[in-house]
Amino acid sequence: MTALLQTLQGQPVATRVLERALSDGHVHHAYLFDGQPGVGKELAAFGLAQSLVCEKPLAPFACGECSPCKRAVPRGEKRIPIHPDIVVLERGLYEPAQIGRKSPETQEISVDQVRTLVLARAAFRAHEGRAKVFIVRGAEELSTSAANALLKTLEEPMQGTFFVLLSAQPDALLATIRSRTQRVRFGLLSDELLETLLSERGVAATDRALVIATSKGSMENALASLKQDAPGYESFVNCALEAVSETSFVRSLDVAEEMKRLNREGAIEALLAVARQFATLAKEQVDTPASELWARRFQLVEQAIAALHGNGSPQLVGESLLSRLRRT
């Protein structure tokens, strides 16, 4: 089995920083991995954790074969390793009762999660004696009290305790948290790398080009837009096509109604399906005025997807998109 860190691709800066730290034995106790979703931050975090808990590391890499190495690999839908010294924090990852709460965490990573998962263990040595690694997904969602609760541990962690904060919006973190971490930037993936990664997953060449066009350098976006290849958004896409082509308002209302029904994630997937369709039409009619029209519509859909990622409500984003599409 290959070490996780060896499978990180397209991030030369992060690779260099982590490999050097592991080779020199100077791993910082708190990193902030800064970059868009789906570019390898999480793989790098688990890779670093694996190197730290490995029984027979071949610096800078983990051996990939020992029991801790195997248990460091994230599994299941929640992508959590079964190694007890590698702990993942994320909003809503745990049942309220598991972290001593009554209500689910809807907005923030609560101080309860930090107390239960971090502070309760911070004073103890690692279960297996090597290292304790806390990985915080979407670290910008730490509530102020959660961030403050982390501060002291971040400042003077016990020997062998490490933190990796993952964030696409590092500036939303408390300055006091940021200043205690070493920032490592993760760039967007190149189209060539996405092409390779998708072909490794068996995605057909015809699909790859379209997926890459809408994925903005993120494997997560690429996979999401593949997922909606599955039936389900077909009627939504057809409806959207009719809505932009038709003079009557009826179809637009159908689309708006559907957007209202979807949650944010569903709305993003549905719009990715529409974006793909518009991109196809633009390509099919290349060098005609129609192609430009579809390309403009494609851009509008992309902007709407960005608005949803930025927390826009599906209903409002849908309404504004439709009125703009009808004006193109």
C-beta of 35 vs 64, nearer to Zn ion: 64
Any residues with CB less than 8 A from the CB of 19 and at least 6 apart, and which? 5, 60
CA distance 274 to 41: 28
Min separation Cβ 64 and Zn ion, Å = 6
Min separation Cβ 88 and Zn ion, Å = 20
Min separation Cβ 56 and Zn ion, Å = 5
C-beta of 68 vs 217, nearer to Zn ion: 68
C-beta of 47 vs 318, nearer to Zn ion: 47
Min separation Cβ 132 and Zn ion, Å = 17
C-beta of 2 vs 144, nearer to Zn ion: 2
C-beta of 3 vs 136, nearer to Zn ion: 3
C-beta of 57 vs 318, nearer to Zn ion: 57
C-beta of 47 vs 217, nearer to Zn ion: 47
User: Could you tell me if 2 and 43 are in contact, meaning their C-beta atoms sit under 8 angstroms apart?
Assistant: no
* b/e 78-95 (16+ beta carbons within 10 angstroms → b): eebbebebbbbbbbbbbe
Min separation Cβ 105 and Zn ion, Å = 33
Min separation Cβ 90 and Zn ion, Å = 25
Min separation Cβ 57 and Zn ion, Å = 6
Residues in contact with Zn ion by the rule CB under 5 A: 54, 62-63, 66, 69
From residue 24, how far is each of 20, 43, 76, 180 by CA, in Å? 6, 21, 33, 21
Min separation Cβ 49 and Zn ion, Å = 12
C-beta of 62 vs 131, nearer to Zn ion: 62
